[in-house]
Amino acid sequence: MLDAPAPVAADDSAGEEPGPFFALELPDEAPVVAFLGDSVCAGLHLAEDDAFPSVLQRRLHEEGLSFKLVSSCESGRTTAGGRSALSWVLRSEPDVLVVGLGANDGLRGIELAEVESNLRGILEGAREAGARVLLLGIRIPPNYGQYAEDFDALYPALAAEYDTAFVPFYMEGVGGVAEMNLPDGLHPTQAGQRALADNVQPGLEAVLRDLAAN
């Protein structure tokens, strides 16, 4: 979902060691799952444990699919910001990288070639580090015309090319749904964040089960 256009903030995590977000009693062998995203992933205006990555961590822990959560989600972040933050995120040696970026690019009309280049850089960097990727599909409003159509098509095309796990439009049922968003109309409520977790959970479960089997 979608942050109001604003300058991209610098990543203030630089120089700090990333680590698990919550002190659940996790098995030592639990895989590390890192989330690279924007203000929706960060749960802007909510408690941090209401954000969908934390909801997923608790849910899957209860189901016996524990993972150590690393969150690198920042308000206003574009794909360029995510690419810049990638080296910091990879210091946590994630087994899985969940990428939920691009909404801010799309709303600002950033050239699609630049968005594609940044996403490719993230996917290739994760691959080189040995991390599996779960790519979250992003769509922008149809009033952006041909740009919106081309933007929407980019994500499934990249997922297919890189043979990576993919969630088509992870904001389904939340984006543009008034009762699922705060009064700003942009950022999900607690219920909206739980709905995002519903959308992402099957994909993340599949990746974690495959990881455990191999």
Do residues 74 and 36 touch, judged by C-beta distance below 8 A?
A: no
Mean pLDDT of 153-163: 97
Q: What is residue 23's predicted lDDT score, i.e. its pLDDT?
A: 64
List 3, 39, 75, 152, catalytic entry: 39
List 75, 105, 152, 187, catalytic entry: 187
Alpha carbon distances (Å) from 120 to 66, 117, 146, 200? 29, 5, 22, 21
Q: Phi and psi at residue 7, in whole multiples of 5°?
A: -60, 145
Measure CA 95 to chain center.
15
Quick one: which of 160, 150, 122 has its CA closest to 37?
A: 122
Q: What is residue 11's predicted lDDT score, i.e. its pLDDT?
A: 39
Q: Is 184 a catalytic residue?
A: yes
All structural domains of the chain with their residue ranges = 32-171+200-213
State the chain's mean pLDDT as an integer.
Answer: 89
Position 173 pLDDT exceeds 60:
yes
Pairing of strands 96-100, 32-37: parallel
Structure tokens given for 179: 């009762």
pLDDT band at residue 167 under the 50/70/90 scheme: very high
Write the pLDDT tens digit of every residue in 15-72.
Answer: 444 444 446 788 788 999 999 999 999 999 998 899 999 999 999 999 999 999 999 9
List 49, 150, 184, 210, catalytic entry: 184
Q: Is 13 a catalytic residue?
A: no
Q: Is 12 a catalytic residue?
A: no
Position 10 pLDDT exceeds 90:
no
The side-by-side arrangement of strands in the sheet containing 96-100 is: 68-73, 32-37, 96-100, 132-136, 165-167
> Alpha-carbon distance 21 to 53, whole Å?
10
C-alpha neighbours within 13 Å on the C-beta side of residue 194: 6
Q: What is the CATH number of domain 32-171+200-213?
A: 3.40.50.1110
Measure CA 102 to chain center.
10
Position 184 pLDDT exceeds 60:
yes
H helical segments located in 26-145: 39-42, 52-62, 79-90, 103-108, 112-128
Mean pLDDT of 84-112: 96
Q: Phi and psi at residue 158, in whole multiples of 5°?
A: -65, -40
pTM of the model: 0.87
